[in-house]
Amino acid sequence: MNTVRMNLAQLNIARLRFALDGPELKDFVDGLPEINALGDSSPGFIWRLIDEGGADATALRPFEDRDDILINMSVWESLESLRDFIYHTKHLEYMRRRREWFDHCGLEAYVVLWWVPEGHIPTVAEGKERLEHLMKHGPTPGAFTMRNPYPA
């Protein structure tokens, strides 16, 4: 019997098509505070990655040799709570425009989900490992996707 409650961790990476401070990314950058606040106050939200001294994770570069790849990571109570936020709020309008701002050229997988014990905050290194596992083996119970989820 599994007695530890599990939460859902998600990592997603995206390659910037233009400079983050350029006119092309203005709508994305301007929308961040509102969308992040919406996520933070959504039912089931537990944690999201924030860079040192910032309000979001846009200063972080998960791959040392790639200064055009951004990361975001968060933890949710359940798959449903994550789904409800990303697809059933204003966040969807933001997501609809993702390819105006980002692509995934050279990235085989760009979103990964996995279960963590309640109270565990995943590190970027841990998230990258899960992403690599997903790229190598496809969706498995330890690293999966929204479209091919596994139970906790």
Partner 1 sequence: MGMSEDAISAVGALGDPTRRRAYDLVVAAGRAVSRDEVAQGLGVGRTLAAFHLDKLVEAGLLEVGYGRLGARPPGPGAGRPAKLYRRSESQVAVILPPRSYVEVGALLAEAVERSGADLTLQGVARERGRAASGADMWEVLREWGYEPFTRDGDICLRNCPFHALAQEFPPLICGMSLALVTGLAEGAGWPVRARMRPEKGHCCVILERDKR
CA distances from 48 to 23, 86, 89, 137, 149 (A): 26, 14, 17, 26, 20
Tell me which of 5, 93, 117, 137 binds partner 1, using CB under 8 A: 93
* Sequence letter at residue 20: L
Residue 96 interacting with partner 1 (CB under 8 A): yes
Question: Whose structure tokens read 């039912």?
Answer: 43
Residue 147 interacting with partner 1 (CB under 8 A): yes
Bridge partners, 54 (sequence order): none
Rank residues 111 and 116 by Cβ distance to partner 1 and give the closer one: 111
Going along the chain, which residue ranges are E strands? Answer: 6-16, 45-48, 69-76, 102-103, 111-117
By rule CB under 8 A, what string of x and - marks binding of each residue 42-81 to partner 1? ----------------------------------------
**Sites for partner 1 among residues 103-122 (CB under 8 A):** 103-105
Residue 87 interacting with partner 1 (CB under 8 A): yes
Nearest alpha carbon to residue 15 among 88, 119, 114, 102: 102
The nearest distance, CB 88 to partner 1, in angstroms, is 5
Nearest alpha carbon to residue 30 among 58, 62, 61: 58
Residue 24 interacting with partner 1 (CB under 8 A): no
Give the range of 5-13, 27-35, 45-53, 99-107 binding partner 1 by CB under 8 A: 99-107
Residue 138 interacting with partner 1 (CB under 8 A): no
Between CA 33 and CA 143 the distance in angstroms is 29
Positions that interact with partner 1 (CB under 8 A): 86-90, 92-93, 95-100, 103-105, 147
